[in-house]
A and B are shown apart, each in its own frame.
Chain A
Amino acid sequence: MLGEKEGMDINYVAHLARIDLTEEETTLFQGQLEQVLHYVEQLDEIDVSGVEPTAHAFPVYNILRKDEMGQSLGHSAVIANAPAASDGEIRVPKIIDQ
């Protein structure tokens, strides 16, 4: 399982993260992150067989509430923060080609 770690394809990961990187950033981050990844490889030396993963320090499950209407932010309060809006709706670039 652990033999699979090869170099990070930083441009692909940046695409997944939806961030454009400059060439300078690509080179800089590549070096810095490889150093970090090399550092975290020390975790491979620990035997974790049979150990349960911890996702939260104090796991709480299935917090449910009654299915009732509650208070929420008004429409105009939400739209007020949109960088582009018209007619009470948020404007975005065209998503679907006709």
Chain B
Amino acid sequence: MDDLHKLTITELSEKLAAGGCTSVGIVKDVLAVIDANDGKVGAYLTVDRDSALEQARAADVARAAGVTSPLLGIPIAIKDLLNVKGQPCTCSSKILEGYIAPYDATVIAKLREVGAVLLGRVNMDEFAMGSSTENSALGKTHNPWNLGHVPGGSSGGSAACVVADEAIASLGSDTGGSIRQPAAFCGCVGVKPTYGRVSRYGLTAFASSLDQIGPLTKTVKDSAILLETLCGHDKLDSSSIEMDVPTFSENLTSDTSLVGMKLGLPKEYFVKGMDSEVEKAVRDAVEHCKSLGAEIIDVSLPHSKYAIAVYYIIATAEASANLARFDGIRYGLRIDGKDPLELYKKTRAAGFGSEVKRRIILGTYVLSSGYYDAYYKRAQKVRTLIRNDFTEVFKQCDAILAPVTPTPAYKLGEKTNDPLEMYLDDILTTPTNLAGNCALSLPCGFSSGGLPIGLQIIGDSFDEQTILKVGHAYEQTTKWHKQKPEL
């Protein structure tokens, strides 16, 4: 096995251009790592071995014919809630048993257009509902740094496969932190783009006013490269915004100065009960940014503490509507009944796991007659206040620095019996989804137990470039992202 699997998109793309390797070579190398390690990590649901090699051969042929693109021939893993034509799309649920995607999601079509190699689909919490990937009905994923710990979620497979070098990069989705939190737990970079930046056509919807697709990568620059391809208006998704997409990666230079940059530190994000090692690592990262020339100012996001309550009303309400389509009629699992009603109830009882049922019931309740105003409408109003907080803060600073999670990755099974306790861990990531702006997570240290710690850089709406710039400057002048787990 060569060491090609250890390289980044940026490095491989240069090597490919210089004739130093082939896409087939990269894919073979990554497949060998999957064979060696995925029995332990459990990131993949399906590896499309033959198809990946075929795509790699096509990429090599295209390159020989003069085609260039930074993603040409680069193997990428896909969270299994994106439709990839001709492949299953399970959402890690039994209810999608037997479903074969009849079309490509827009982000998949875009990856194909630039010649990226779709390697296979990775594990997640069922329908993206969860923070540890333990809600998957199809298998357990382990944190590559400590196999007894969770990889985070819901994009746990997407983070674990990148960190274990079982893919060069991956796609995930973030509804309340589902890209940033696993990126922090596993030690890679993850970006939640601004709401409306990336088309969700072909993404299995969880909460439509919050969901965004984004990259998980080994470096900030790699995320910038993927974002350039993923972002942009799509007529198939009316919520995608018509706005120019900057060439994010070209704007990331070797200049690591942050002089002239104002970074805000929100006091509400250093919450009670936060792990002291996480707090120290993040505060050290803040000092580091200061040493690069950034001015650090204190800011306040006073409604942050209500984000979890607002999130779990709005997200479950939207989920209860979105998941009504899984009824056993048109696709997926069907348990027969004497009439359609019995068929629906039996199918959904057998097909959905506990967390999905719990959230559908909660969402149905908060939308039901007599409770709509008290729960749903009130939550939407508090959402406005959370959004206003960010608007005010971005008048004072260019970006916000914060932790991603209150603790490093916890043990498998540690929080599965108490849903509320697990929900509370999303306190630092959900506000951004509610407000719609962008954020990224990148490695900024390790706990004494050897688990990664993430730094969150939160940006204003449609200002991905600034958070990428800050992240890139931090990464270029630290070594956390170079550390690899022993598997």
- Give the interface of A toward B (CB within 8 A): 1-2, 4-5, 8, 10, 13-22, 25, 28-29, 32-33, 35-37, 39-40, 42-44, 46, 48, 51-58, 60, 63, 65, 73, 77-78, 80-84, 90, 92-95
Q: Mark B224-250, 1 if CB is under 8 A from A, else 0.
A: 000000000001001101000000000
Residue of B nearest to A79 (CB): B330
Residues on B with beta carbons closer than 8 Å to the beta carbon of A95: 339-340
Residue in B341, B378, B420, B423 whose beta carbon sits within 8 Å of that of A18 in the complex: B341
Tell me the dominant secondary structure on chain B's binding face: helix
Closest Cβ–Cβ distance, residue A66 to chain B (whole Å): 11
Q: Are A19 and B348 in contact, CB atoms less than 8 angstroms apart? A: yes
Q: How far is the CA of A76 from the CA of B433 in the complex (A)?
A: 38
A-B contacts, 21 listed (Cβ < 8 Å):
A17-B364, A19-B348, A19-B361, A20-B345, A21-B357, A25-B357, A40-B312, A42-B306, A43-B310, A43-B382, A44-B378, A48-B385, A51-B382, A53-B381, A54-B383, A54-B434, A56-B209, A57-B196, A80-B102, A83-B333, A93-B343
Q: How far is the CA of A37 from the CA of B329 in the complex (A)?
A: 32
Residues on B with beta carbons closer than 8 Å to the beta carbon of A17: 320, 348, 360-361, 364
Q: Answer yes or no: B195 CB below 8 A from chain A CBs.
A: yes
Residues on B with beta carbons closer than 8 Å to the beta carbon of A54: 380-381, 383-384, 387, 434
Given known contacts A2-B374, A33-B365, what 4 new A-B pairs fall within 8 Å (CB)? A46-B385, A57-B196, A78-B330, A83-B332
Residue in B102, B209, B306 whose beta carbon sits within 8 Å of that of A78 in the complex: B102
Q: Are B241 and A58 in contact, CB atoms less than 8 angstroms apart? A: yes
Residues on B with beta carbons closer than 8 Å to the beta carbon of A80: 100, 102
Interface centre among B241, B341, B357, B381 (most CB of A within 10 A): B381
Residue of A nearest to B308 (CB): A39
Q: How far is the CA of A46 from the CA of B305 in the complex (A)?
A: 12
Q: Are A81 and B436 in contact, CB atoms less than 8 angstroms apart? A: no
Residues on B with beta carbons closer than 8 Å to the beta carbon of A52: 381, 384
Closest Cβ–Cβ distance, residue B161 to chain A (whole Å): 27
Q: Are B364 and A35 in contact, CB atoms less than 8 angstroms apart? A: no
Q: How far is the CA of A51 from the CA of B385 in the complex (A)?
A: 8
Q: Are A60 and B358 in contact, CB atoms less than 8 angstroms apart? A: no
Residue of A nearest to B313 (CB): A40
Instruction: Given A4-B370, A57-B435, check contact A42 B309 (CB 8 Å).
Output: yes
Q: How far is the CA of A15 from the CA of B7 in the complex (A)?
A: 52
Closest Cβ–Cβ distance, residue A70 to chain B (whole Å): 9
Closest Cβ–Cβ distance, residue A30 to chain B (whole Å): 10
Residues on A with beta carbons closer than 8 Å to the beta carbon of B320: 17
Closest Cβ–Cβ distance, residue B434 to chain A (whole Å): 8
Q: How far is the CA of A33 from the CA of B102 in the complex (A)?
A: 37
Closest Cβ–Cβ distance, residue B99 to chain A (whole Å): 6
Q: Are B339 and A93 in contact, CB atoms less than 8 angstroms apart? A: yes
Q: Are A48 and B381 in contact, CB atoms less than 8 angstroms apart? A: yes
Residues on B with beta carbons closer than 8 Å to the beta carbon of A29: 357-358, 361
Closest Cβ–Cβ distance, residue B338 to chain A (whole Å): 6
Q: Are B378 and A43 in contact, CB atoms less than 8 angstroms apart? A: yes
Q: Are A1 and B368 in contact, CB atoms less than 8 angstroms apart? A: no
Residue of A nearest to B384 (CB): A54
Instruction: Given A58-B436, A82-B331, A83-B332, check contact A19 B419 (CB 8 Å).
Output: no
Q: How far is the CA of A51 from the CA of B306 in the complex (A)?
A: 15
Residues on B with beta carbons closer than 8 Å to the beta carbon of A63: 238
Q: How far is the CA of A16 from the CA of B348 in the complex (A)?
A: 12
Q: How far is the CA of A1 from the CA of B99 in the complex (A)?
A: 44
Q: Are B239 and A56 in contact, CB atoms less than 8 angstroms apart? A: yes
Residue of B nearest to A48 (CB): B381
Residues on A with beta carbons closer than 8 Å to the beta carbon of B377: 53
Q: Are A40 and B387 in contact, CB atoms less than 8 angstroms apart? A: no
Q: Are A40 and B327 in contact, CB atoms less than 8 angstroms apart? A: no
Residues on B with beta carbons closer than 8 Å to the beta carbon of A37: 362
Q: Answer yes or no: B98 CB below 8 A from chain A CBs.
A: yes
Q: How far is the CA of A56 from the CA of B334 in the complex (A)?
A: 34
Q: How far is the CA of A55 from the CA of B332 in the complex (A)?
A: 30
Instruction: Given A32-B419, A60-B241, check contact A18 B375 (CB 8 Å).
Output: no
Instruction: Given A43-B378, A51-B384, A53-B384, check contact A73 B102 (CB 8 Å).
Output: yes
Closest Cβ–Cβ distance, residue B213 to chain A (whole Å): 15
Residues on A with beta carbons closer than 8 Å to the beta carbon of B187: none
Q: Are B235 and A65 in contact, CB atoms less than 8 angstroms apart? A: yes
Q: How far is the CA of A10 from the CA of B436 in the complex (A)?
A: 32
Q: Are A53 and B330 in contact, CB atoms less than 8 angstroms apart? A: no
| Contact residues, B404-428 vs A (CB, 8 A) | 419-420, 423
Residues on A with beta carbons closer than 8 Å to the beta carbon of B306: 42-43, 46
Which 3 residue pairs are nearest across A and B when measured between Cβ atoms? Answer: A57-B436, A53-B380, A83-B334
Residues on B with beta carbons closer than 8 Å to the beta carbon of A14: 361
